[in-house]
C-alpha cells in the first residue's frame, strides 16, 4: 500500500526541500538545547513565587 501511494509522488525537489527544512529545524533545536544557557532565565522565573507581593505592588 505504501509503495502504491509513493509511486504517485514523483516530485523529488519537494522531497529534497522538505529534508533540508527538517534538518535545519532539527539542528536548531539541538543547538538551542546544548549551547544556549537558559539557566539565568529559569533562575529568575524560579524566584517569582518567593517574591513578597507587598514589596512589588503594595497590595495584599
Instruction: Kindly state the helix (H) or strand (E) to which residue 9 belongs, with its residue range.
Output: none
| Cα distance between residue 28 and residue 5, in whole Å | 31
pTM above 0.85, yes or no: no
Give the integer Cα–Cα distance in Å for 34 and 41.
Answer: 15
* pLDDT in single tens digits along all 60 residues of the chain: 878 887 887 888 998 999 999 999 999 999 988 877 767 777 888 888 776 665 555 555
Instruction: Report how far apart, in Å, the C-alpha atoms of 52 and of each of 24, 25, 41, 57, 60 are.
Output: 44, 41, 19, 9, 9
Which pLDDT does position 24 carry in this prediction?
98
The Cα 29–Cα 31 span in angstroms is 5
Q: What is the pLDDT of residue 5?
A: 80
Amino acid at each position: 500500500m505504501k509503495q502504491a501511494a509513493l509511486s504517485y509522488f514523483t516530485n523529488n525537489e519537494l522531497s529534497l526541500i522538505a529534508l533540508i527544512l527538517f534538518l535545519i529545524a532539527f539542528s536548531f533545536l539541538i543547538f538551542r538545547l546544548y549551547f544556549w544557557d537558559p539557566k539565568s532565565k529559569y533562575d529568575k522565573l524560579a524566584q517569582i513565587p518567593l517574591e513578597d507581593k507587598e514589596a512589588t505592588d503594595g497590595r495584599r
